[in-house]
Amino acid sequence: MHLEDKAITRLRIHPVLTEIAALFAARGKEIYLVGGAVRDMLRGGAAQDWDLATNALPEAVSAIFREAVPRGKVIPTGIKHGTVTALYRNHQMEITTFRTESAYSDGRRPDTVRYAATITEDLSRRDFTMNAIALRLPGGETVDPFGGAADIKAGIIRCVGNAAGRFSEDGLRPLRAVRFAAQLGFTLEKATLDAIGGVLPVSAKVSAERVRDELEKILASPRPSHALLLMEQTGLLKLFLPELAACRGIAQKGFHRFDVLDHSLLACDYAAREQFPPEVCAAALLHDIGKPLTRAMDASGVWTFYRHESESVLLARAILTRFRWPNAFINTVCHLVQEHMFHYTEDWSDAAVRRFIIRAGKANLENLYRLRRADSAAMTGTEPLADILLPLVSRVDRILSSSRALSLKDLAVTGKDLAATGIPPGKTMGRILNELLETVLDDPEQNTRERLLAIALKLHERSA
Ligand code: ATP
Ligand code: MG
């Protein structure tokens, strides 16, 4: 089979799209598949979500779908901006009326919408050549006025038209460019790359949520460092993540081969490559971000970073809050960063392992191991020969499966039991329960109702 033949089979149009095209054709309207779906098909992948462009006005688009599927769903959420979301045969798609470029003064959505007459005009408002290709439906002929297919083949991200001008219209575009670079493994064409430095003041005005969405996609890409290094090179890193930019040139000693920034990028790449959850990828990027602020030289001339994890937590929280990540996400990332510095050795007692489990929290153990593996691999930049955490993991597993007491609720007595013996509820009882837990952590054999009640009474007498 020739390459060309392969390309044709890959661009086969989904039967549902063919059906939709027929609905539009019956009313004399044009409809095209556009955006990421076309880009992904030309790269040989499957189309993700469907974005469609048409010369029918939004009201007409809604009418077409309502008529076709009386109980089908049409959501006119973006109708002011020319977009209709439709659910058709279990496929959700966005259908946007041909538009021309308009200003985004709030950094979120264009202020006004001006409809365009042709698909070519619509394509010319799009950001990059690879995103400005349309497939005419139902046939699948490509409309590619800016050489997008050739750029995709060469792995190049290039602005449609003058880069500085296009970036000034919407300051998110530079961030989209570096995000796509990391997602697709593409490079930025020189004029596109060179234009970013000059539009940073425009990028500074973009809403926090739009920036966060891009940062999130960067962290989920196969190699986040690709985007983050481009951000450093162009000034976007200093603009959006100055705390991370400050890690450049912070040298480390000991097992570390890299400065704090490269180490953080390697840790993040490791986490992304292993497809760890987003919390772990973010923690890997931010786990050492407090190092520049805690660096001090000891008497023997070696750099130290005492308690850097606490400083890292403060900065990580500030960054994630700034971009409005959800609180639950922020708390998990910060917890992982705070706990990332454990140093397991074989002489840890079982009690020490139990305390480690409690500090980490059972639910976070796996993610903490993941963060630690990313951190270790990023010290030397080479894959460790063996899993360094294996001895700890197996001890933790052994303790967890022996179902010995690990938290207050695992104690053989409850607050009610203590109250029945005359210990008043409140502060005293809380303290006694915690002491019982400490006792059980040190010696699980003590976790019987009889033993704990006896200890509790003794503690109570002593404190009375
Ligand atoms: P993905 O969905 O994987 O992020 P995509 O290319 O589909 O990639 P969307 O954000 O879904 O990106 O946008 C769909 C299309 O709309 C893009 O391919 C592009 O043509 C156009 N577009 C989106 N955002 C912008 C923008 N800020 N400026 C210009 N065109 C844009
Ligand atoms: Mg899309």
> 85, 105, 103: which is closest to 95 by C-alpha?
85
CATH number at residue 344: 1.10.3210
* Residue 101 in contact with ligand 1 by CB distance below 6 A: no
Report how far Cα 157 is from the mean position of its chain's Cα atoms.
22
Among 90, 114, 147, the domain-final residue is 147
Give distance in angstroms: CA of 36 to centre of ligand 2.
5
Q: Is the CB of 35 under 6 A from ligand 1?
A: yes
Question: By the 8 A CB rule, do 289 and 243 touch?
Answer: yes
Q: Please report, for the domain that includes residue 106, its CATH number.
A: 3.30.460.10
Asked whether 51 lines ligand 1 (CB < 6 A), one says yes
Structural domain range at position 414: 408-463
> Residue 106's pLDDT is what?
61
Does one domain contain both 142 and 44?
A: yes
Kind of pairing, strands 156-157 and 187-188? Answer: parallel
| pLDDT at 107 (0 to 100) | 55
Same domain, 381 and 433: no
| 10: in domain | yes
Considering the domain architecture, whether residues 167 and 94 belong to the same structural domain is answered as: no
pLDDT number for residue 404: 67
Does residue 277 form part of some domain? yes
pLDDT of residue 10: 45
Considering the domain architecture, whether residues 236 and 295 belong to the same structural domain is answered as no
Please report which ligand is nearest the Cα atom of 177: 1
Distance 14 CA to ligand 1 centre (A): 21
Are residues 267 and 224 located together in one domain of the fold?
Answer: no
214 lines ligand 1 (CB under 6 A): no
Query: In the prediction, which pLDDT does 1 show?
Result: 39
Question: Ligand 1, residues 92, 95, 126: which to mutate, most atoms within 8 A of Cβ?
Answer: 126
Distance CA 156, CA 179 (A): 13
User: Both 258 and 351 in a single domain?
Assistant: yes
Q: What integer pLDDT is reported at residue 224 of this predicted model?
A: 98
37 C-alpha to center of ligand 2: Å?
Answer: 7
Is residue 400 situated within a structural domain? no
SS3 95: strand
Domains in the chain, number = 4
In a domain, 397, yes or no: no
The confidence score (pLDDT) of residue 101 equals 77
Query: Which of these three, 147, 163, 193, is where a domain ends?
Result: 147
Residues 276 and 305 in one domain: yes
Same domain, 291 and 343: yes
Within a domain: residue 394?
Answer: no
> Does residue 396 sit within a domain?
no
Q: Are strands 83-88 and 73-75 parallel, antiparallel or unpaired?
A: antiparallel
Q: Round to whole Å and give the CA distance between 408 and 440.
A: 10
On whether both 31 and 133 belong to a single domain, the answer is yes
Whole-model pTM: value is 0.88
Instruction: State whether 227 and 263 are in the same domain.
Output: no
* End position of a domain, from candidates 320, 354, 386: 386
* CB hemisphere CA count around 177 (13 angstroms): 34
What phi and psi, each to the nearest 5 degrees, are found at residue 288? -115, 15
Atom number, ligand 1, closest to the C-alpha of residue 183: 3
Residue 401 lies in a domain: no
Instruction: Say if 120 falls within a structural domain.
Output: yes
Nearest protein CA to atom 16 of ligand 1, as residue: 35
- Is the minimum distance from the CB of 210 to ligand 1 under 6 angstroms? no
pLDDT in tens, the chain (464 residues): 344 444 444 478 999 999 999 999 999 999 999 999 999 999 988 877 899 999 999 999 999 998 887 766 788 777 778 999 999 988 999 999 999 977 666 655 666 789 999 999 999 999 999 999 999 999 999 999 999 999 999 999 999 999 999 999 999 999 999 999 999 999 999 999 999 999 999 999 999 999 999 999 999 999 999 999 999 999 999 999 999 999 999 988 776 789 999 999 999 999 999 999 999 999 999 999 999 998 998 898 888 888 899 999 999 999 999 999 999 999 999 999 999 989 899 999 988 999 999 999 999 999 999 999 999 999 888 877 678 899 999 999 998 888 666 788 889 999 999 999 999 999 989 999 999 998 998 888 999 999 999 999 999 998 87
CA of 345 to the centre of ligand 1 (A): 50
pLDDT of residue 2: 46
Do 198 and 314 fall within a single domain? no
Q: Which of 33, 38, 51 gets mutated to test ligand 1 (max ligand atoms within 8 A of its CB)?
A: 51
In the numeric block, which tokens belong to residue 308? Answer: 């850097």
Give me ligand 2 centre to Cα 184, in Å: 14
- On whether both 182 and 219 belong to a single domain, the answer is yes
